[in-house]
Amino acid sequence: MNTNTTSAKGARRKKILGLICCLVIFTAATASQMDASPKKEISDEGLTELFNAALFHVQGDYVDEVSRQTLIFGAIRGMLSSLDDAHTRFMTPDETNELQTEMRGNFGGLGIEISQRDNVLTVVSPIDDTPAMRAGIRPNDKIVEIDKKSTRDLSLTDAVKLLRGKPGTSVNISVVREGEDEVLYFDLVREIIKIKVVTSEFLEKEKLGYVRLKQFNQTATEDLARVIGEFKKKKARGLILDLRWNPGGLLDAAQRISNFFIKSGVIVSTRGRKKELDKVFNANPSAAIAADIPLVVLANEGSASASEIVTGAIKDHKRGKFIGVKTFGKGSVQNVISLMYGTSMALTIQKYYTPSGVSIHKKGIEPDIKVPALDFNKDDRRHYKEIKEKKILSNFVKEHKHYNAETVKKFQKMLEDRGLTLSDFAAKKTLKDEYTKNSPRPILDMEFDVQLQRAIKELTKT
């Protein structure tokens, strides 16, 4: 007799017996419930019993001991995730405190607003002058890994936890970007993110006021009103409101700021399931502190939510020109509800509509005048990486002390000799950034900001 054959047969018998035993155990546990498959909706009482039964078995029989709080928090998150709405989420006491700190404009992290689109962690907007913005993170970048760990099936809350951390510590982000063939990797160092919500400058020659609003937080309305007052004292002939890279914030702030520029009519309306909560926000003539000054709004793919409320109101009322590119497209309203024991829940309760009755959710707002920002092309990005890694840039700047047209020509010639050509824009921008990296960042970029240039041109037409 072939002993190998006998041994194989014996092993197969044992496997079959094992499967039978498993089947018997399963059958014994479930036979009485085989007819329990519902043919209609389960009653509220039945659903409560079902939940408690599942909780009972997990607490009693799961291989590892798990606290009841962990299970209940997980159950709430699961319930909210079934809504397929990235903006609706449950927050623990720590996460609730983080949100409150963020809205006050002082928090730790990378300076990046994220969401989920089609279950993929997606950048809404980097915040101006933060590690994320300086590194080149962009709206609609898909974050596929954080510190080499996949973000697939990662909740928005858990993603925020991984991205935030102690100031001075680093985190690596892997990004998939439309138009790029390879995954992009960014090493970022966390900082205390202090948002100066409003920055401004008066262009004396053109008599134009420029104001950048970075977030619609609790101080935005008051800060912007103060700046507008200063511009009026200087007899400004026009105003540029820059909402680029502004991820949004408070609905009330967006409504009040829109009212600064609009005398009458609908600013925004909100609609939800409960019709009694639907609201129409109309302009108050007495609050229109800048209703007559010529106006341009700058917005882009990083302008979302409250930024889109203001942009949409100004565009629909033909109160000013929107220059830039299509906005992000977040047109839903969340209510942060305080729950028990320090927890809270951000719940989408409504969608908002522009004065013309249009919902921009997942659509965005198209500009009146489309002006794409200048950008590096694929070859620029590939060569830039090599230029930085080999310290070609830093060595060149050590030898040439000033940024000017002649220096740019020498830089491009040196790169060409090495087979590392950059476009004119990329060469100038790369060189200037290296020369000025230790200097305070200017509020206005008159050399490279073509959207700002077009806004000035539009307001100084004769």
Which residues are identified as catalytic? 305, 316, 330
As a whole number of angstroms, the distance between CA 11 and CA 5 comes to 10
Q: Which of 293, 291, 221 has its CA nearest to residue 262?
A: 291
CA 229 to chain centre: 31
HSE of 132, CA atoms in CB hemisphere, 13 A = 27
As a whole number of angstroms, the distance between CA 249 and CA 306 comes to 6
Two tokens, residue 373:
């920002």
HSE of 50, CA atoms in CB hemisphere, 13 A = 11
53-56, long-range: CB < 8 A, 24+ apart: none
Q: What are the residues whose beta carbons fall under 8 Å from the beta carbon of 105, sequence distance 6 or more?
A: 194, 195, 196, 197, 215, 217, 218, 219
As a whole number of angstroms, the distance between CA 261 and CA 293 comes to 8
What is the Cα gyration radius of the chain? 28
As a whole number of angstroms, the distance between CA 442 and CA 305 comes to 27
